[in-house]
Amino acid sequence: MNNHISYSSRRRAKHTFPKRPMYKEAFQIKPIPLNWFRGVGSAISVGTPALLGVLMGNPALGILASIGGFTFLYVSNETYAQRAVRLFWVALGLAVSFALGSLCSYNTMLTVLMFGIVGGLSTLMFTVYQITGPSGMFFVLAYAVGTSMTANLHVILQDSLILLLGGMFAWVVGMAGVIKNPHRTESKASSAVYYSLANLLSAVGTAEFTDLQHQTASLMQQADRTLMNSKWFGRKDKPYTEKLRALNTQAREIFLSILDISLLPKHEGEEQLSNALQIIGDQLLQKENVSGFTMPTFENELNHSIKNLCLNIQMAAEINSKNANDFKTDPKDYKTKTGFRVLWRNVFTSGSNAPFIALRYGIILVISAAIAYGFHFDRSYWVPLSSASVMGGATYVASLHRGMQRSLGTIIGIIVGAILLWLHPQYVAVPLILASLQFVVELIYGRNYSIAVIFITPSTLLIGSTLQPELTSEYFISARIVDIIIGSAVAMVGITWLWRRTASKRLPSVFKEAVEREGELLAAILNCESIEVRKSIEEKLQNSLIQLRLVYDNAFAESMRRNARTTILWPAVGDSLILGYMLLAASRKDNRINHVSSDRIEKVQHGFAVLAESIENNKKPVMDMPALPEFPSIYEDIMQLKRSLRVLDSSLNVTRL
C-alpha cells in the first residue's frame, strides 16, 4: 500500500469539531433546489379531488378525497416498484385511520388512546421500512379528521371509500413517471454516487474529506438498496438495471482507490479524474450538452495508485458506454433483501431505537390529546396534530427547530388564513386556492419549514371550514393559536424527557463494534484469508463505520449546547473511521505479503481487543501493537487512534452518556 511513501507526506484528513447547533439555524434558508416535482404533484393530488367535489355539488366529500391525496407526499427516491406498493399501503392506511377516528369518536377515552396507537404504529412502520416523508403525521391527521365526523357506520364506510379513492388518485400521479422513465430513481441513485466520488477526490487532505467519505459510503449503500428493489417493466429493462448494478460495483473500487490516493502527495492529474467522475454522473442523468469525453491517460505514470484509479474510472466509463441490451452480469454478485422475520426480529434487539421512537411518538400524542379533550378545547384534535408535526424532526435539535418554526409560521399563517376566510372563497376558488397553497408548501418545504407552515396553516383552516361550513372562521382561527402553543409545548417537553439520549447511550457499544471489526479485517489480511472470507468481514466493517458516524451525529444533536462528553470523542471516532476505510482499501488490493507469524497476528488481535475494551470500560488503552512493516500507514493510524482514546481516562464517562 505504497510502502515507500512516508507517513508525514500523506494528506491525512484533519479533524474539525462538529459545529455547535444554533437557534438561528431554524430560520435560515437552505441553499437547495426548489422541488418542482413534489410541488406540482402534490398540487394535482390535493387540488383535483377538491375540484371534482365542487363540480359535483359536494365540496365536503371533495375535501375528504383531498386528504387521501396527501398520499403523494410519501413519494421519495424509491424505485417505481417500491413506490407502487408503498403508496397503496399509505392510501389504505389513511383510509383506515380516518375510519378508526370516526368509530372512536363516541368515547373520549378511546379517542385519546387511539391517537397514540395510530401515531405510534405508523411511526414504527415508517422507521422499520426506512420510508422517508412525513412519517405518521398524516395518519394522525386522517384519524383526527375522522374524530370530528359522524359515527354512523354507513357514512363512515362511504367517507372512508372517498378518502381511499383520493389516495388512489395520488397513486396514479406518483406513478405517472414510470411511462417515460421507468428507472429514473435507479439512475439518480447511481449518478449521486459518482458525483460524491468526484467531490471526495477533490477533497483529499481537506477538513471536508471525512464527511464526504461517510457521505459517499452511505450513498453507495443506498444505491445498493435501490437497485436491490428494482423491478423490470418488460424484458428490455433488465440489462439496463444490471448495467447500473455493475456501475455501483465499480464505484466501490473507485472509492477504495481514492482512499489509497489519500496516502500520497497531491498529483496534478487528480482534478482531471475528478472531472471524469462528474461527467459519468451527468451522463447517467442524461443531461443535455453532455457528450463523450477523453479520459486522461497515465501510461508512463510510475505511481501505481494513480494508475490504478485511472484504470478503475476508465472501466466505469466503458461500462456506462456499453449498449445495455448486450450487457450481462452474474446475479450472484448482488445482495438479497432482508426477510420479513429477520427485519422485525432486528427491530426489537438492544441495538435498535425504532421501538423507543414509536413509543415516544405515541405517548406524547396521548398526553397532548388528553390535555385537549380533558379541558374541552374547541376542535381538540388540533393539539395532538401540532405535537405530531413538531416531532417530525429526526433529532432533538431538529425537533426543537421545528417547534420554533411551527410557532412563528403558524402565527403568520393565521393572518394569511384569516384574510382568505374573510374573502369567503366559493365554488372553484376553494380547490384552486388549496392546490396553490399545497404547491408552494412542497416547493419550499426543504428550504425552510417555518416558511412552509405559513402556507400550511391557511390550508388547514380552509379544509376545516369546508368540512364544517356551519362554524365561523373566527372559531377556527382562535382555536389554532391556542392549539399550536399547547401542542408544541407538550411535544418539546416530551422529546426532552423521553429517550432523548438513546444515541449517546448506544455510542460506546457501536464504537467498540467498529474497532473490533477493524481488528478482524486486519487479522484476515495478515493471515492471507480467501477473498470470500475477507469480503464478508469488509461488508460488516463498512456497515459498522456508517452506523458509527450516524450514531455519533445523533448523539451530538441531543442538545443545543456542545456536549463535552460527546464532543471530546470526535477525534477518536474520526481516527477510527479513517483507519476502517484504509483497511477496506488495503483488503481490496493485491498485496503480496510474506508469511506473518501466528504470534504477531495474535498480538495484533490482542491490541485491537484492548482498544475495544478501553472504549467499553472508559479507560485509557495500555497496549503494545507490533510493527506492521507491510502497512506502515495503517500502523500509524492505529497509533493515532490509541492516542485519541487517551481522553477516556480523564473527563469522559461514555458508559453513562
What one-character-per-residue DSSP string does 86-135 give? HHHHHHHHHHHHHHHHHHHTT-HHHHHHHHHHHHHHHHHHHHHTT--SST
Q: Check if the beta carbon of residue 253 is closer than 8 Å to that of residue 239.
A: no
Counting every residue, how long is the chain? 657
Q: Check if the beta carbon of residue 545 is closer than 8 Å to that of residue 217.
A: yes
- pLDDT averaged per 10 residues, the chain (length 657): 46 67 76 86 92 88 91 88 91 95 90 93 85 83 87 88 95 90 86 93 84 88 82 59 87 88 78 89 75 62 76 88 62 56 70 81 92 81 83 74 79 82 80 90 84 83 69 59 82 84 86 93 87 86 89 81 74 90 81 76 90 86 83 88 78 42
d(CA 635, CA 583): 11
For residue 174, give the amino acid letter: G
Beta-carbon contacts of residue 509 (< 8 Å; ≥ 6 apart): 351, 616
Long-range contact pairs involving 527-535 (C-beta distance under 8 Å, separation at least 24): 527/596, 527/601, 528/593, 528/596, 534/587
pLDDT at 142: 92
pLDDT at 328: 58
pLDDT at 2: 43
d(CA 648, CA 657): 13
pLDDT at 651: 45
d(CA 614, CA 461): 57
Measure the CA dihedral 397/398/402/404, to 10°.
30
Q: Check if the beta carbon of residue 544 is closer than 8 Å to that of residue 609.
A: no
How many CB atoms neighbour CB 572 within 10 A?
25
Q: Check if the beta carbon of residue 283 is closer than 8 Å to that of residue 247.
A: no
CA angle 588/196/555 to nearest 5° reads 90
Per DSSP, the residues of 614-647 read: HHHHT------PPP-TT-HHHHHHHHHHHHHGGG
Q: Check if the beta carbon of residue 390 is closer than 8 Å to that of residue 431.
A: no
Per-position b or e across 250-289, b if 16+ CB within 10 A of its CB: bbbbbbbbbbbbbbbeebebbebbbebbbbbbbbbbeeee
Beta-carbon contacts of residue 426 (< 8 Å; ≥ 6 apart): none
d(CA 397, CA 358): 18
d(CA 52, CA 92): 21
d(CA 655, CA 653): 6
Report field, pTM of the whole predicted structure over 0.85:
no
Phi, psi dihedral angles at 32 (to 5 degrees): -115, 155
pLDDT at 338: 61
Q: Which three cell numbers stand for residue 202?
A: 477533490
Q: Which three cell numbers stand for residue 315?
A: 472501466
The CA-atom distances, in angstroms, between 343 and each of 119, 338, 548, 588, 620 are 21, 6, 20, 30, 37
Q: Check if the beta carbon of residue 600 is closer than 8 Å to that of residue 626.
A: yes
d(CA 137, CA 532): 45
Q: What Rg, from alpha-carbon coordinates, does the chain have?
A: 27
pLDDT at 472: 54
